[in-house]
């Protein structure tokens, strides 16, 4: 009996790379079963973007993905995700330089002492901040750079890496998902639907508040649980990918002038980054460049020699190798479906099913449809360009407001970004935090289910009140 029990416990979920590889195989097989089809694309007058012509779907000659082409998708996924991959390498290297100066450790110790019994409030404030960045500036991949900092803080507060991941990534997803004034999702979708830009904000704000409160409660419930009993941590007994966490050599170091200057420089850099994203349209390349500068400057300020800076950078980049590679591997799933020509076919058949259903059921059907499609098209703006030209006339035909159709889109686009492995920013964030994906899924699935149910409630009410302006 004891042997059986031990054997059962030893069963492990396959490695993240194995799971993604199996997923690519399934998608490749699907390209031989589902007929290839496509829509014609036209330029939308409202947004200037290329969108599908909803009446143009037609089948094309099959383009099933063979074994060699399937393996090629992994290489193409790396190429397609190169901006995120290099961002992760550079952020990892730069953070290691800053870590090796002792400045980050000393700063985190000082922050922890300062917080005292207000630690939970500080974590919630961080989550709120990231939710605002996600809801207003559409920050998703960009927040990954903050995870190592929050991980250091959580370590000092005797919390695990899951808390850091939740505060940063899930916090940002609260705002991104509920839309608010996100230009990359709501802005694009409303433009295609012909709605006034950011109309219906009052309704999105209500549900943003509800989801924010519930998510904060969920995270704090976990924090209290692992503080009471560390063995209940989702990370308990887990060997950290890339090596075991080492004790900070600088633990207990006091803040001196050089370390203080480095910390000031670092936070000034973060503020400059936010300004650059918001004002100058910075993206991966510019953010990576800024972090490279901050890492080198931090090392020199603290008296590190050039060779020491270089060695620290390489060490940090090596630790983030898994995080960088998993992004490209995840992208291979979408590319397999795309090269097989079956994404538009799925869109066509699913949209056809919704036609003629009762209003409330049809509206939630749109939500379900967008949720499913989000697996295949994890890009928010890409999903809007593909589906909204179809969903807009369908909503008109079903007497459902276009605002409700947009709501279905950004809920469908956002909620399952918490769990779908095709979401590059999710896989990168999980990998950077060094939380095993299967452990993360175990932790987040109940929260994701709550979000999905909230989405159903919001869609139902929006349909019943005919959320407008039209």
More confident residue, 127 or 153: 127
Reported as half-sphere exposure (CB side, CA atoms, 13 A), residue 346 has a value of 23
- φ, ψ (nearest 5 deg) of residue 42: -130, 160
Q: Determine, yes or no, domain membership for 64.
A: no
pLDDT-derived band at 121, boundaries 50, 70, 90: confident
- Per-residue tokens: 262: 């480095």
pLDDT of residue 116: 65
Mean pLDDT to the nearest integer, 389-418: 87
Secondary structure E strands in 53-183: 58-59
Most confident residue range from 138-142, 201-205, 390-394:
201-205
pLDDT-derived band at 410, boundaries 50, 70, 90: confident
Paired residues of 41 in beta bridges = 52
pLDDT of residue 6: 45
Q: Determine, yes or no, domain membership for 243.
A: yes
pLDDT in tens, 248-279: 444 445 677 888 898 889 888 878 887 887 77
Among 174, 183, 184, CA closest to 205: 174
pLDDT of residue 208: 94
CA dihedral 149, 152, 155, 161 (to 10 degrees): 50
More confident residue, 8 or 370: 370
Q: Determine, yes or no, domain membership for 80.
A: yes
pLDDT in tens, 363-372: 999 999 899 8
Q: Determine, yes or no, domain membership for 66.
A: no
Strands 41-43, 50-52: pairing kind: antiparallel
pLDDT-derived band at 354, boundaries 50, 70, 90: confident
Q: Determine, yes or no, domain membership for 6.
A: no
More confident residue, 111 or 164: 164
Q: Determine, yes or no, domain membership for 459.
A: yes
Cα separation, 113 vs 264, whole angstroms: 18
Among 268, 265, 249, CA closest to 257: 265
* Residues of the domain holding 276: 16-46+75-464
- Alpha-carbon distances of 435 from 32, 67, 216, rounded to whole Å: 35, 31, 20
Residues of the chain with pLDDT > 70, as a percent, come to 91
pLDDT-derived band at 46, boundaries 50, 70, 90: low
pLDDT of residue 48: 67
pLDDT in tens, 13-24: 677 788 788 888
Paired residues of 38 in beta bridges = 58
pLDDT of residue 112: 66
- Per-residue tokens: 428: 């990168």
Helix (H, G, I), strand (E, B) or coil at 43: strand
Q: Determine, yes or no, domain membership for 61.
A: no
Number of domains in the chain: 1
Which pTM was predicted?
0.76
pLDDT in tens, 49-104: 677 787 788 888 877 899 999 999 999 988 988 888 888 888 888 888 988 888 87
Q: Determine, yes or no, domain membership for 430.
A: yes
């Amino acid at each position: 009996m004891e042997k059986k029990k031990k054997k059962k416990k030893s069963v492990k979920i396959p490695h993240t790379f194995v799971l993604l590889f199996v997923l690519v195989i399934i998608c490749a097989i699907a390209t031989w079963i589902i007929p290839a089809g496509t829509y014609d694309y036209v330029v939308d007058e409202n947004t200037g973007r290329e969108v599908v012509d909803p009446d143009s779907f037609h089948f094309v000659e099959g383009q099933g993905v063979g074994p060699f082409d399937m393996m090629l998708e992994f290489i193409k996924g790396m190429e397609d995700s190169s901006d995120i991959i290099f961002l992760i390498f550079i952020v990892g290297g730069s953070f290691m330089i800053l870590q090796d100066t002792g400045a980050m450790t000393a700063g985190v110790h000082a922050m922890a002492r300062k917080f005292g019994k207000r630690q939970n409030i500080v974590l919630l404030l961080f989550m709120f901040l990231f939710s605002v960045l996600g809801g207003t500036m559409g920050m998703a991949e960009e927040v990954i750079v903050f995870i190592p900092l929050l991980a250091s803080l959580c370590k000092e507060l005797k919390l695990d890496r899951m808390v850091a991941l939740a505060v940063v990534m899930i916090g940002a997803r609260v705002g991104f998902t509920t839309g608010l004034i996100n230009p990359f999702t709501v802005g694009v979708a409303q433009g295609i639907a012909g709605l006034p830009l950011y109309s219906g904000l009052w309704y999105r704000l209500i549900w943003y508040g509800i989801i924010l409160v519930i998510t904060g409660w969920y995270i704090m419930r976990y924090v209290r649980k692992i503080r009471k009993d560390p063995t209940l941590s989702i990370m308990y007994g887990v060997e950290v990918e890339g090596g075991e966490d080492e004790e900070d050599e600088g633990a207990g170091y006091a803040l001196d002038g050089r370390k203080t200057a480095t910390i000031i420089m670092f936070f000034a850099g973060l503020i400059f980054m936010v300004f650059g994203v918001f004002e100058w349209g910075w993206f991966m390349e510019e953010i990576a460049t800024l972090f490279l500068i901050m890492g080198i400057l931090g090392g020199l300020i603290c008296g590190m020699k050039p060779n020491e800076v270089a060695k620290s950078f390489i060490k940090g980049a090596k630790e983030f190798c898994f995080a960088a590679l998993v992004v490209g591997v995840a992208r291979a799933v979408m590319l397999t479906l795309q090269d097989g020509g079956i994404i538009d076919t799925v869109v066509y058949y699913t949209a056809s099913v919704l036609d003629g259903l009762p209003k409330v059921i049809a509206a939630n059907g749109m939500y379900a449809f967008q949720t499913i499609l989000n697996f295949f098209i994890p890009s928010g703006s890409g999903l809007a360009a593909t589906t909204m030209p179809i969903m807009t006339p369908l909503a008109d035909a079903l007497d459902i407001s276009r605002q409700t159709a947009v709501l279905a889109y950004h809920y469908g686009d956002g909620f399952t970004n918490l769990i779908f492995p095709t979401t590059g920013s999710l896989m990168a964030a999980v990998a950077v935090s060094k939380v095993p994906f299967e452990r993360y899924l175990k932790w987040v699935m109940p929260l994701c289910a709550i979000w999905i149910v909230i989405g159903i409630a919001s869609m139902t009410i929006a349909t019943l009140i005919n959320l407008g302006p039209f």
